[in-house]
């Protein structure tokens, strides 16, 4: 989860524009800000002969460039980490002092970049609208971001993780061209309500998600959260959630029971690799192996119907750029829920990616999509974790609740939930996402009791609906007013399931672990289906073993 911590810290650093303004004689914007992205932080340049030990005296401080009015004016703003922290220039966030060893480095390593986008007043030296490579030659813009290095220095492929820099990026949102009957929904700033409804006509959807492996212990937690006695007042259906399942160590009979209860199952990859760079640089084929293979494993051993799993979330708070979303289109995934958005005055509604994202590409070196893709993005809005949103000092926000480190007691946790709910409800009623890792409540029993009580309370207020992500998309594709939701068929499916689990005694299949988990010795896969020969893994989603032979 370290990458998620970094993403959350980065979000707040990026959002904080209230630093100390640096005088131009001390830090000249012409030197520090030229061709530097606004989301990048840097240090004050130190003498070349300074030692790491000497540089640590300045290591708390970091800077960013901000607009100063007009198209080409910039200012340098100074911020500082807490007294026990240093700024890590490579990770672009504050870290514990003992973990930072790059205080002498003043800016993050930069790959070669072409002369694009042009700075205000900058002249294009290339003919006919061509773009100048970092190495000086001119190329047609069609060569840029096509997964082939055409510039001598490869700079044509180094601006492809942000729609603002990709010369061939999808167009900005045009609501007149983005039509419902063509499966498109966008808004310029992300605040538009589907169907042009007014806020008072719009249900406040609450999306509870868990990401990671599901086991017997976590199932006990989910049963308390999604109690059969707690129902949305507006339609008499039990609360529903979405579970993004990673394959290793998952109990598939538990997944089968969650699906029977009407919860949505999504894919969170086969390996759940904890290296953030792994997810940023995967090819489309490798994304297919991680997520479509993972989907096939879940469907087979949880006895789900093909097509039940249509959503995905990339681990470690990462995004896989155009390669990820190309895979999603090719392999029939309806939506992604990996992109994060900074907190604003109005939260952002989910959107389709036929147009550009309506928010910044947020995260440390994130690889965000830039092209046109016919998939939904169930964006994760940043949550406000301040004890008092009106008077408390600015704190780093969070997208996964696990990373709201200041939440230490149940009352504070409830206030946090209510503050963020009201921020959505009293503005444009964009769905409120409450995102947890699968193990969050295992060590927070008092938080679990408070969360369960809060759900029971909110569900009785009338305008609030605990739904899964697919139900939210169903509503957005055919929005109706609150008054008609009691009989809304898309939300009545598995409304209040009764009866016993399909399988109470799953097979504890003892299998040989995949090579990356060889230290486990033996692994047990619990399923109500037949046992696999080996543990299912990449390129072998059914666990058939080499060549399909018995081992």
User: What are 126-172's pLDDT values in tens digits?
Assistant: 998 899 999 999 999 999 999 999 999 999 999 999 998 999 999 99
Q: Does 194 lie in the same domain as 53? A: no
Q: Is the link from the previous residue into 308 a cis peptide, with omega within 30 of 0? A: no
How far is residue 95's CA from residue 298's CA, in Å, rounded to a whole number? 37
130 φ/ψ angles, rounded to the nearest 5 degrees: -70, 165
User: What are 238-254's pLDDT values in tens digits?
Assistant: 999 999 999 999 999 99
Q: Any idea what the CATH number is for the domain that residue 215 is in?
A: 3.20.20.370
Domain membership of residue 109 (yes or no) is no
How far is residue 132's CA from residue 382's CA, in Å, rounded to a whole number? 37
Residue % of the chain over a pLDDT of 70? 94
Q: Does 185 lie in the same domain as 77? A: no
Over residues 40-64, the mean pLDDT reads: 94
Residue 520: predicted pLDDT: 86
How far is residue 77's CA from residue 70's CA, in Å, rounded to a whole number? 17
Instruction: Output the six-digit token pair for 46.
Output: 């130190």
Tokens 């504890």 correspond to 508
Angle, vertex CA 17, rays to CA 11 and CA 22, nearest 5: 130
Where does 74-121 show beta strands of DSSP type E?
74-80, 85-88, 93-96
Instruction: Output the six-digit token pair for 317.
Output: 């708070």
Q: Does 402 lie in the same domain as 289? A: yes
What is the total count of domains within the chain? Answer: 2
Residue 549: predicted pLDDT: 47
Q: How many CA atoms lie within 13 A of 38 on its CB side?
A: 19
The 3-class SS string of 531-551 reads: CCCCCCECCECCCCCHHHCCC
Residue % of the chain over a pLDDT of 90? 75
Higher pLDDT, 352 or 520: 352
Q: Does 435 lie in the same domain as 317? A: yes
Closest among 357, 351, 430, 345 to 384, alpha carbons compared: 345
551 has pLDDT over 60: no
Q: Are 491 and 235 in contact (CB under 8 A)?
A: yes
Domain membership of residue 108 (yes or no) is no
Tokens 């739904």 correspond to 467
Domain membership of residue 107 (yes or no) is no
Instruction: Output the six-digit token pair for 409.
Output: 């007691």
Q: Does 205 lie in the same domain as 82? A: no
pTM score of the predicted model: 0.86
Q: Does 450 lie in the same domain as 326? A: yes
* 101-115, 156-170, 199-213, 516-530 — most confident range: 199-213
User: What are 72-110's pLDDT values in tens digits?
Assistant: 688 999 999 988 899 999 888 888 899 999 999 999 888
Instruction: Output the six-digit token pair for 520.
Output: 């486990």
Residue 225: predicted pLDDT: 97
Domain membership of residue 312 (yes or no) is yes
Residue 139: predicted pLDDT: 97
**Confidence band (pLDDT; 50, 70, 90) for 396?**
low
* 66-75, 180-189, 364-373, 443-452 — most confident range: 443-452
182 has pLDDT over 90: no
How far is residue 392's CA from residue 155's CA, in Å, rounded to a whole number? 44
325 has pLDDT over 50: yes
- Mean pLDDT (the chain) is 91
How far is residue 373's CA from residue 329's CA, in Å, rounded to a whole number? 7
395 has pLDDT over 80: no
4 has pLDDT over 80: no
User: What are 397-454's pLDDT values in tens digits?
Assistant: 788 999 888 899 999 999 999 999 999 999 999 999 999 999 999 999 999 999 999 9
229 has pLDDT over 80: yes
Domain membership of residue 469 (yes or no) is yes
Instruction: Output the six-digit token pair for 474.
Output: 């169903």
Q: Does 314 lie in the same domain as 209? A: yes
Domain membership of residue 279 (yes or no) is yes
Q: CB-based burial of residue 551 (10 Å sphere; 0-12 exposed, 13-18 middle, 19+ buried)? A: exposed
Cβ-based neighbours of 6, under 8 Å, separated by 6 or more: 91, 92, 93, 276, 317, 363, 364
Over residues 382-399, the mean pLDDT reads: 73
210 has pLDDT over 70: yes
Angle, vertex CA 361, rays to CA 356 and CA 363, nearest 5: 160
Domain boundary among 491, 513, 542: 491
Q: Does 206 lie in the same domain as 92? A: no
Closest among 428, 419, 379 to 399, alpha carbons compared: 379
Cβ-based neighbours of 168, under 8 Å, separated by 6 or more: 141, 142, 144, 145, 370, 371
Q: Are 394 and 12 in contact (CB under 8 A)?
A: yes
Q: Are 512 and 535 in contact (CB under 8 A)?
A: yes
* Residue 89 domain boundaries: 20-96
7 has pLDDT over 50: no
Angle, vertex CA 193, rays to CA 189 and CA 197, nearest 5: 145
Domain boundary among 96, 120, 140: 96
Over residues 488-493, the mean pLDDT reads: 94
Candidate from 17-26, 132-141, 435-444, 510-519 with smallest mean pLDDT = 17-26
* DSSP codes joined into one string, 16-73: ---SEEPPTTTS-HHHHSTT--TT--B-----TT--HHHHGGGTTEEEEEEE-SSSS-
Domain boundary among 96, 123, 149: 96
Domain membership of residue 427 (yes or no) is yes
Domain membership of residue 74 (yes or no) is yes
User: What are 282-300's pLDDT values in tens digits?
Assistant: 999 999 999 999 999 999 9
Q: Does 190 lie in the same domain as 65? A: no
Q: Are 360 and 381 in contact (CB under 8 A)?
A: no
Residue 12: predicted pLDDT: 39
Q: Are 185 and 346 in contact (CB under 8 A)?
A: no
Cβ-based neighbours of 241, under 8 Å, separated by 6 or more: 207, 208, 209, 210, 222, 225, 226, 263, 264, 466, 468
Cβ-based neighbours of 243, under 8 Å, separated by 6 or more: 209, 210, 211, 214, 255, 258, 263, 264, 265, 266, 438
């Amino acid at each position: 989860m370290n990458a998620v911590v970094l993403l959350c810290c980065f979000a707040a650093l990026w959002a904080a524009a209230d630093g100390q303004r640096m005088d131009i004689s001390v830090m000249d914007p012409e030197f520090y800000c030229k061709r530097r992205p606004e989301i990048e932080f840097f240090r004050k340049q130190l003498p070349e002969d300074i030692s790491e030990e000497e540089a640590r005296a300045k290591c708390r401080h970091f800077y960013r460039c901000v607009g100063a009015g007009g198209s080409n004016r910039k200012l340098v703003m100074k911020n500082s980490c807490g007294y026990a922290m240093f700024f890590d220039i490579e990770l672009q966030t504050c870290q514990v002092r003992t973990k930072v060893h790059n205080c002498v480095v003043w800016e993050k390593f930069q790959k070669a970049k072409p002369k694009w986008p042009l700075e205000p007043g900058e002249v294009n030296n290339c003919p006919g609208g061509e773009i100048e490579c970092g190495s000086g030659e001119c190329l047609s813009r069609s060569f840029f971001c096509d997964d082939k290095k055409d510039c001598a220095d490869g700079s044509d492929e180094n601006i492809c993780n942000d729609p603002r820099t990709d010369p061939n990026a999808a167009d900005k949102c045009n609501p007149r061209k983005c039509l419902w009957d063509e499966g498109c929904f966008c808004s310029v700033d992300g605040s538009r309500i589907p169907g042009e409804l007014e806020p008072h006509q719009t249900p406040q959807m609450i999306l509870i998600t868990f990401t990671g492996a599901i086991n017997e212990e976590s199932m006990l937690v989910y049963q308390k959260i999604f109690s059969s006695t707690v129902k949305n007042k507006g339609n008499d259906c039990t609360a529903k959630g979405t579970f993004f399942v990673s394959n290793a160590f998952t109990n598939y009979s538990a997944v089968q029971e969650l699906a029977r209860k009407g919860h949505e199952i999504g894919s969170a990859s086969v390996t759940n690799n904890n290296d953030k760079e792994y997810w940023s640089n995967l090819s489309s084929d490798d994304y297919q192996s991680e997520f479509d293979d993972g989907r096939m494993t879940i469907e087979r051993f949880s006895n789900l119907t093909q097509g039940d799993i249509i959503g995905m979330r990339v681990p470690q708070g990462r995004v896989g750029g155009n390669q990820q979303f190309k895979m999603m289109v090719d392999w029939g995934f309806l939506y992604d829920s990996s992109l994060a958005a900074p907190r604003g005055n109005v939260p952002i509604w989910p959107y389709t990616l036929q147009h550009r994202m309506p928010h910044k590409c947020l995260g440390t070196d994130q690889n965000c999509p830039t092209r046109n893709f016919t998939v939904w993005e169930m964006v994760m809005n940043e949550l406000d974790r301040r004890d008092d949103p009106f008077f408390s000092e600015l704190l780093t926000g969070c997208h996964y609740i696990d990373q709201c480190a200041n939440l230490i007691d149940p009352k504070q946790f409830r206030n946090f939930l209510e503050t963020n709910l009201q921020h959505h409800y009293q503005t444009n009623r964009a769905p409120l996402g409450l995102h947890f890792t699968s193990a969050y409540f295992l060590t927070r029993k008092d938080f679990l009791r408070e969360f369960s009580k809060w759900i029971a309370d909110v569900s009785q207020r009338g305008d609030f609906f605990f739904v899964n992500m697919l139900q939210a998309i169903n509503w957005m594709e055919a929005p109706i007013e609150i008054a008609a939701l009691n009989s809304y068929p898309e939300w009545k499916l598995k409304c209040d399931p009764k009866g016993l689990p399909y399988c109470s005694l799953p097979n504890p299949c003892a299998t040989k672990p995949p090579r990356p988990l060889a230290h486990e010795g033996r692994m047990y896969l619990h399923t109500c289906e037949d046992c696999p020969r080996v543990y299912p893994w990449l390129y072998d989603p059914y666990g058939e073993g080499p060549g399909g032979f018995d081992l």
